Structure formats: C-alpha cells, structure tokens
Amino acid sequence: MRKMTKGVTSALALTIGLAAAARAEDVEVLHWWTAGGEAAALNVLKEDLAKQGIGWVDMPVAGGGGEAAMTALSARVTAGDPPTAVQMLGFDITDWAAQGALGNLDEVAAAEGWDKVIPAALQAFSKYDGHWIAAPVNVHSTNWLWISKAALDKTGLAEPTSWDELIAVLDKMKENGITPLAHGGQPWQDATVFDSLVLAQGTDFYKAAFIDLDPAALGGEKMAAAFDQLLKLRSYVDDNFSGRDWNLASAMVINGEAGMQAMGDWAKGEFLGAGQKPGVDFVCIRFPGTQGAITFNADQFAMFNVKGEEAVKAQHAMASAIESPAFQSAFNTVKGSVPARTDVPDTAFDDCGKKGIKDLAEASAGNTLFGSMAHGYGAPASVKNATYDVITAAFNGEYADGASAATALAEAVAAAQ
C-alpha cells in the first residue's frame, strides 16, 4: 500500500515536472498516436506549428483507443495542471466540458467560419452549450476490412461483400496456410470489430442498440446473431492474439503472415508507412454488409483551460492550424482518415481516401452515419466500457452462445447508465 502511494506521488511529480518545462508560447499535447503511421501524421502538425514559432511539448500515452491516455489526463487535471490540448473522442469531450475544464474557441471558429464547413455530426461533440471547445482533426471510421492483395488473389475469390462471401475467403486463406484474420485481443479492438458486426445487422438496428441503447435491441435476436458471428470470427485468429497491439496485427497482413484485418482506417497509415499501395498490395473495403453506412470516430483536440495570454494565443494558433484546409489534406493523407471539413478536395488522397470521403458524404446525406460505440461516439465511457467487458468475454468464449452474450450485454448496459 505504502509503495503504491509512493508510486502515484512520483508519477504526479513527473507529470507536473514535465509541464513546467513548457513555455507559455508552447503547446503541450497529450495523445496516443505512438504507432508508425500515427506518429508520422502527428509530425505534420508539429512541423506546421514549428513554422509559426510554436513549440511542442509531447505527452504521448501509448494504447490504441486512448483508455490509458484518458487515465493519464485525469491525473493531470486533478493536479490542477491540464495540458494545452488533448486528443479525445466523442462523449469524453462533452463530459470534460460539462465539468468546466475546457476553454473556448468561439473567436477562432467564428473568424474562420467553422460552423459552415465542419459536419454537424462532429459539431455535436466539438461544441458544448453552443460554444466551441474542441478542434476536430479528422474523421475515421471503424467499418473497414484491410486485405492482403496477394492473399486474396491466392484464394481465387472476389472481394467479399456479404458474410457468406467473407467466410468463404477466410476458409480459403486457412487452407492456404496463413492466419486468415489478424487480430489483437484487447477490449477496444474486439469492440472495433463488433461495431461492424452490429452495423451489418442493419442501420436501424445499430442506431437502436448502440445510439439509443434500446434494451430490446441490445438483448435481442439481431444482437445474438452479431455475437454468433463474433464467435465464428474467433476461429480464424491465431493462438497469440491475446494482448497484441493493433499495429502488430496490421504488420501480419503487411508481411503476408495473415490475410486480413478488420480495423478502422488508421490501419492504412501502417500499410502506407511500409511502402504498400492500395489496390496493388492491399485492398480496402467496407466490412461486408456495411457499405453505405459508417460508424465514425473523429479525433478531436479538446482545448483545456490554460492560464495566461501567451498560452491561450498558442492554443488558438494550434486550433487554427488544425482546421486549415491545407493541413487537413496533408495530415489525413498520412493518417488514413478523411478531412473533418467538407470543403477539402480529395485530389491528394489515394483510392482508399477518396472512397472514405465519398462514403462519408453519402452516409451523412442518407442518415446512415453513426457514432462508433467502440471509440466513444455511441455512448459515454461508462456504457462503452460495459460493452467492452461483454464483447471481450464473448470473444474469449465465456458465453455458451450469442443469445447469452446478448442478454449479458443488455444487463451490463442497463447497469452502467
């Protein structure tokens, strides 16, 4: 017990010490972009700010999906010393805003006309009580499948567009002696795959279950079917999946050890970083049964209350740099995501990026654009974490069948609200 207290105290001392190293004209940025493609994209922002004379104090907290980063953030805020800007998703942003911890970007937003160019689905989380509190940097989506072109060609089958076609490709890959599905067994990754399975059961169903949290949908037959499919997918994963980081799973597809990965489009950053090309080395398709709809997670930089004119100036300059159309193009072509503004041309984007931009516009117009439950845009963290528990338990064989998992999900979500 004594030892633990000491550990926590020195962790706090360390973070406070780090903050002291920041000058008023610097920005201190907390984020979880530590994988190759992510770090490359973040460099675009660092360099952009450096050109304006704004220094960067880096506070990386590794861990896809950002759970560890959010824990580190709480410690900093509790110590009364928040960073300038924090990478954040969905309900986490509005939760911090509700606590009065975030600054105000209205001046920058008004001067630059953000209201007109940032999609309403994002604004719902970038604004609180009518005030801008965060600067959205991108739009990612979780319902993608990344397939090795060589492994697909070897199956002699077409890109799968339905569950049955997907299973046929996975079976053939197994016969061909590779791991059909590259997967990292971490709760957020299990949940990322599950977003797609729930969406494939129908857009109305996704909305009822993961946005409206309707108990009948959460515990019903379609949810049971989605869980049965998750259990089936488990049979195509290798023995060492437990705890594997998502980018190592991407690497398995890149180096030919595995056939495909179901992951958000940050995976593309890894393929590109390895020198691979869409359509040549890898194929990007919507998870079978979800073309036409999107489960999105937009990374935003939530801006915390910082003290002093210079610090606020640097913070506003960062927000402005993030929303510049040129930056949006330069950053998102590297990151794998698509711009957080609707007026950025797709010319610099590769085929997967162009598809991402087109899919987003279509989903937005057709009301089939939904927040990703796995990445904090479906429901607040308490509910999200409750779904993680059940999804991961299901993936690891703790329920007899999909129906029991669905029942457990409905109970867990009810208890978490």
Of the listed pieces 62-70, 100-108, 287-295, 381-389, which binds ligand GAL according to CB under 6 A?
62-70
* Residue 331: CB minimum distance to ligand GAL, A: 11
Contacts to ligand GAL from residues 65-84, by CB under 6 A:
65-66
Residues in binding contact with ligand GAL, number by CB under 6 A = 13
Out of 375, 383, 387, 409, the residue judged to bind ligand GAL by CB under 6 A: 375
Positive or negative, the CA dihedral 156, 160, 164, 168 is positive
Q: Which is nearer to ligand GAL, 206 or 296 (CB)?
A: 296
Show the site string, 226-265: x = touches ligand GAL by CB under 6 A, - = not: --------------------x-------------------
* Residue 269: CB minimum distance to ligand GAL, A: 9
356, 289 contact by CB (below 8 A)? no
* Residue 294: CB minimum distance to ligand GAL, A: 14
Is 140 a binding residue for ligand GAL by CB under 6 A? The answer is: yes
Alpha carbons 214 and 346: distance in angstroms, whole number: 37
* Residue 116: CB minimum distance to ligand GAL, A: 25
Alpha carbons 169 and 152: distance in angstroms, whole number: 7
Q: Which is nearer to ligand GAL, 32 or 301 (CB)?
A: 32
Residue of 403, 355, 101 whose CA lies nearest to 231: 403
Alpha carbons 257 and 251: distance in angstroms, whole number: 8
Of the listed pieces 60-68, 78-86, 278-286, 314-322, which binds ligand GAL according to CB under 6 A?
60-68
Which residues touch 154 (CB under 8 Å, ≥6 apart)? 172, 173, 176
Of the listed pieces 59-67, 76-84, 220-228, 283-291, which binds ligand GAL according to CB under 6 A?
59-67
Angle at 337 between CA 335 and CA 342, to 5 degrees: 130
User: DSSP class of residue 1?
Assistant: -
Is 299 a binding residue for ligand GAL by CB under 6 A? The answer is: yes
* Residue 69: CB minimum distance to ligand GAL, A: 9
Q: Which is nearer to ligand GAL, 288 or 376 (CB)?
A: 376
Out of 22, 33, 251, 412, the residue judged to bind ligand GAL by CB under 6 A: 33
Q: Which is nearer to ligand GAL, 340 or 390 (CB)?
A: 340
* Residue 288: CB minimum distance to ligand GAL, A: 22
> Residue 156: left if φ>0, alpha if ψ -120 to 50, beta else—which one?
left
- Closest residue to ligand GAL, judged by C-beta, is 64
Out of 210, 227, 266, 301, the residue judged to bind ligand GAL by CB under 6 A: 266
Q: Which is nearer to ligand GAL, 34 or 104 (CB)?
A: 34
Residue of 170, 133, 238, 190 whose CA lies nearest to 396: 190
Is 271 a binding residue for ligand GAL by CB under 6 A? The answer is: no
Q: Which is nearer to ligand GAL, 38 or 81 (CB)?
A: 38
Is 371 in a helix, a strand, or coil?
Answer: strand
Out of 28, 61, 64, 148, the residue judged to bind ligand GAL by CB under 6 A: 64
Alpha carbons 138 and 128: distance in angstroms, whole number: 19
Q: Which is nearer to ligand GAL, 140 or 207 (CB)?
A: 140
Pairing mode, strands 131-132 and 140-141: unpaired
Alpha carbons 381 and 156: distance in angstroms, whole number: 43
Alpha-helical runs (H) found in 127-245: 149-155, 163-175, 187-200, 203-206, 215-218, 221-234
* Residue 391: CB minimum distance to ligand GAL, A: 16
Pairing mode, strands 27-31 and 85-88: parallel
* Residue 16: CB minimum distance to ligand GAL, A: 26
Alpha carbons 227 and 313: distance in angstroms, whole number: 49
User: DSSP class of residue 65?
Assistant: G
Is 38 a binding residue for ligand GAL by CB under 6 A? The answer is: yes
340, 118 contact by CB (below 8 A)? yes
Binding site residues, ligand GAL, CB under 6 A: 32-33, 38, 64-66, 89, 140, 246, 266, 297, 299, 375
